[in-house]
Amino acid sequence: MARVVVVGGGPGGVLLTYLLARGGVEVTLLEGRHDFARRFRGDTLAPGVLEYLDDLGLAHDLLAEVPHTRSDAFRWHAPERTYRLVDYRGASKRFPYYALLPQARFLPWLADRAREHGATVLMGARFSDLLPDEDGRVRGVRYTVDGQPHELDADLVVGADGRSSKVRSAAGIEATELGASLDLLWVAVDQHPDDPASSGLDLFARPGGTIALLDQGTGQWQVGWSIPAGTFASVREAGVEPLIDALASVLPWLAERVRAVVTGPNDLTLLPVRITTVDTWSKAGVVLLGDAAHVMSPVGGNGINLALADAAELANLVVGNGDPAELEARRRPAVEAEQRRQVRTEQAAAARNAAGDTGPPTVLRVLASIPGFSTLAARRSRVPMPAPEPAIAGARPSVAAD
Ligand SMILES: Cc1cc2nc3c(=O)[nH]c(=O)nc-3n(C[C@H](O)[C@H](O)[C@H](O)COP(=O)(O)OP(=O)(O)OC[C@H]3O[C@@H](n4cnc5c(N)ncnc54)[C@H](O)[C@@H]3O)c2cc1C
């Protein structure tokens, strides 16, 4: 495969760019924004992903250089007790935790390493269209930088441009909603030295919804309210006091800090949760990966991990001279299994919220009482990554480091 253009510098696109460059492929990344600054994204690197990065010789430097938090458990706090629903301590010998590491720090770190391997990373380069050859096969892209149009030839164009993928629509591929039941509202507030300890991944249940409390090593708490899908308009009408009252009922020590920052609905960031699929992940000369192919719910926090797994698999196909279209056969079953779980979990959560139930789903409540279950649950959520092709694994982790 001579030349690859990757559209979109999210986790999937940046990892793919790195792996292709390291495997000796000529690759250009087009990222529409001028920087990687972004907030409130999927920032949870799974143990299996960390093992993969370790196999490439990257994990040690990443975790040493980039501030983050290590979460060894996902905890559900009901009024009467706390459930340690998933315990990552047995999930991996090398990385018995999820690394909570903001994309705003992870992406520039990895993009720099991609550049060291010879990748071209174009920031502020916005994809506008696909260029077909006379047989209809895609032979390149049109993009703009500062409003100026450019063209770039490619043997393969990868649409890694996220949930509203323009590559996907330009290729004539439609996304279908599978039915999300919840939306999320996020805000970040400063941490104080005497704040209570957190696992990094804590969910507090209250009648009518849950509140997430995440710690990503930024010196701030990320606080998220779940609300029924499509009801942000009623939050606007009611104002933010009911949300802050709900927070005060489960995290009283944080309420005043949040009240000082959230004075109206515009101070909240809405994530309209979506779960989508597409009929096909590829057309001649184009492949989709990550959210462009399958938007995931934040339930389980694996949108980022599945995008990274797609990138690892596609890099193997390209570097190993396989057919890039085979990505779909290799990845779709795992993605769809996760999406089915997410739809079920969200529907059950919406039903429990409507009924005012504050415990975790009954089945999890029962299973959580069985010794070893939470470790088993963590093993299942490891997100298996493919072994890197020898041409990728064998290459030096970083040219500049030598
Ligand atoms: C606003 C938002 C909030 C999210 N919040 C959460 C959360 O709270 N929890 C959770 O688990 N997951 C969350 N996610 C999902 C999670 O971040 C994704 O699953 C993960 O980042 C997928 O990575 P990706 O590489 O497929 O795509 P993305 O991370 O979406 O990256 C796509 C990239 O493509 C670029 N791009 C888009 N259009 C163009 C174009 N025309 N030309 C060039 N570049 C382009 C974008 O700037 C972006 O950098 C959120 C996603 C979004 C969009």
Q: What is the pLDDT of residue 345?
A: 80
Q: How far is the CA of 373 from the centre of ligand 1 (A)?
A: 32
CA-to-CA distance for 280 and 288, rounded, in angstroms? Answer: 9
Q: Is the pLDDT of residue 11 over 50?
A: yes
Q: How far is the CA of 397 from the centre of ligand 1 (A)?
A: 26
Has domain 182-228+231-271 been given CATH number 3.30.710.10? no
Q: How many residues does the chain have?
A: 402
- Please tell me whether residue 68 adopts helix, strand or coil conformation: coil
Of all residues in the chain, the percent with pLDDT exceeding 70 is: 92
102 ligand 1 Cβ < 6 A: no
Atom number in ligand 1 closest to CA 304: 20
Which of 74, 271, 335, when mutated, tests ligand 1's pocket best, judged by the most ligand atoms within 8 Å of its CB?
Answer: 271
Average pLDDT on 249-272 reads 95
Is it true that 3-68+97-177+274-360+380-393 and 182-228+231-271 share their CATH fold? no
Least confident of 8-22, 42-56, 195-209, 212-226: 195-209
pLDDT tens digits along 45-88: 999 999 999 999 999 999 999 999 999 988 889 888 888 888 88
Give the residue among 62, 57, 49 at the shortest CA–CA distance from 97: 49
Q: What is the pLDDT of residue 158?
A: 98
Residues 6+ apart with CB under 8 A from 42: 11, 103, 296, 298, 301, 302, 303, 304, 305
Q: How far is the CA of 83 from the centre of ligand 1 (A)?
A: 31
Average pLDDT on 345-360 reads 74
Average pLDDT on 305-325 reads 97
Q: What is the pLDDT of residue 402?
A: 42
DSSP state, 209?
E
Least confident of 4-8, 45-49, 189-193, 383-387: 383-387
CA-to-CA distance for 336 and 292, rounded, in angstroms? Answer: 14
Which of 161, 227, 341, when mutated, tests ligand 1's pocket best, judged by the most ligand atoms within 8 Å of its CB?
Answer: 161
- What pLDDT band is residue 401 in, cutting at 50, 70 and 90? very low
38 ligand 1 Cβ < 6 A: no
Q: What is the pLDDT of residue 325?
A: 98
pLDDT tens digits along 380-399: 666 789 999 999 998 776 65
Atom number in ligand 1 closest to CA 163: 30
- Please tell me whether residue 70 adopts helix, strand or coil conformation: strand
Two tokens at 15?
């990892």
Atom number in ligand 1 closest to CA 9: 49
DSSP line for 218-246:
SSEEEEEEEEETT-HHHHHHH-SHHHHHH
Q: Is the pLDDT of residue 376 over 80?
A: no
- Mean residue pLDDT of the chain comes to 91
Q: What is the pLDDT of residue 375?
A: 64
Two tokens at 23?
């495997």
CB-count burial class (<10 Å; 0-12, 13-18, 19+) for 291: buried
DSSP state, 25?
-
Q: What is the pLDDT of residue 112?
A: 98
Of all residues in the chain, the percent with pLDDT exceeding 90 is: 72
Residue of higher predicted confidence among 378 and 340: 340
Q: What is the pLDDT of residue 358?
A: 65
- Please tell me whether residue 282 adopts helix, strand or coil conformation: strand
Tell me the whole-structure pTM to 2 decimals: 0.93
Q: What is the pLDDT of residue 368?
A: 59
DSSP state, 196?
P
Has domain 3-68+97-177+274-360+380-393 been given CATH number 3.50.50.60? yes
Q: How far is the CA of 323 from the centre of ligand 1 (A)?
A: 26
Give the residue among 381, 398, 397 at the shortest CA–CA distance from 47: 381
Domain positions in the chain are 3-68+97-177+274-360+380-393, 182-228+231-271
Average pLDDT on 153-172 reads 98
127 ligand 1 Cβ < 6 A: yes
33 ligand 1 Cβ < 6 A: yes
